[in-house]
Every structure is written in structure tokens, then in C-alpha cells.
């Protein structure tokens, strides 16, 4: 069991190791956002943002909820959320939603 957990979280840590994905997760800790808001906050194209959201979703870190024609994303992995919150606290980082 421990080996499975280690492999799982090792993959998740690699996933959030990309600066754009880390910023997405940090922004989604407190707020649900749709792709357009995330694109505007990151200042990257929608295709790039959607690709990163897909990677985060495939690892079970975030989840999307459809609202009409848009999808709102939120962090669903509690372990990753707590780890990032602690990182923000320890590093004294100011957050702005992506």
C-alpha cells in the first residue's frame, strides 16, 4: 500500500512541478474558476490553459463542474491542497486568482 501511495503522490508532485500548473492549483484553492478567467489570470492562450487543466484533471488534482456552456474547476485532492497551502504560508506568498 505504501508503495502505491508513494508512486501516486510522486506523479502528482511532478504534475504540479510545472509553473503554470502550480499557479493554476494555487489560484483554485480558494476559488472555482472557468477556463476564461484562468487564461486571463495567467495571460496564456486558452489552448495552453486547457492542456494544463487536462493534465491536472487526469491526475485527480482538480475537477470540473459544468455550468451551462462553461466548466468551473476546483481543487479536489485534499492532500495537494494542504501541501500547497503550507507552501504558500511558509514562503509568505501573496495569491491572486489565475
- pLDDT digit string, tens, across residues 18-58: 999 999 999 999 889 999 999 998 999 999 999 999 999 99
Residue 5 pLDDT > 80: yes
| Torsion, Cα of 75, 7, 22, 24 (10° steps) | -30
- pTM for this entry: 0.89
Q: How many domains does the chain have?
A: 1
Q: How many residues appear in the chain? A: 98
Does residue 96 lie within any of the structural domains? no
Which cell numbers hold the place of 67?
Answer: 455550468
Evaluated on CA atoms 81, 63, 56, 50, the torsion sign reads negative
> How far apart (Å, rounded) are the C-alpha atoms in residues 20 and 31?
17
Domain that holds residue 57: 2-91
Segment 64-84 shows an average pLDDT of 94
Model confidence at 98, pLDDT cuts 50, 70, 90, reads: very low
Instruction: List the CATH number of the domain containing 48.
Output: 1.10.10.10
Q: Coil, helix or strand for 75? A: strand
Does residue 97 lie within any of the structural domains? no
Model confidence at 96, pLDDT cuts 50, 70, 90, reads: low
Q: Which residues lie across from 63 on neighbouring strands?
A: 74
Which pairing describes strands 33-34 and 70-75: parallel, antiparallel, or unpaired?
antiparallel
Does residue 62 lie within any of the structural domains? yes
Segment 59-70 shows an average pLDDT of 94
Q: At 72, which helix (H) or strand (E)?
A: strand 70-75
Amino acid at each position: 500500500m505504501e508503495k502505491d501511495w508513494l508512486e501516486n503522490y510522486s506523479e502528482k508532485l511532478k504534475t504540479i512541478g510545472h509553473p503554470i500548473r502550480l499557479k493554476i492549483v494555487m489560484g483554485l484553492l480558494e476559488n472555482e474558476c472557468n477556463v476564461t478567467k484562468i487564461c486571463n489570470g495567467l495571460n496564456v492562450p486558452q489552448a495552453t490553459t486547457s492542456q494544463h487543466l487536462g493534465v491536472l484533471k487526469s491526475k485527480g488534482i482538480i475537477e470540473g463542474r459544468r455550468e451551462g456552456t462553461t466548466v468551473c474547476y476546483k481543487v479536489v485532492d485534499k492532500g495537494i491542497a494542504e501541501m500547497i497551502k503550507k507552501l504558500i504560508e511558509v514562503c509568505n506568498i501573496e495569491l491572486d486568482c489565475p
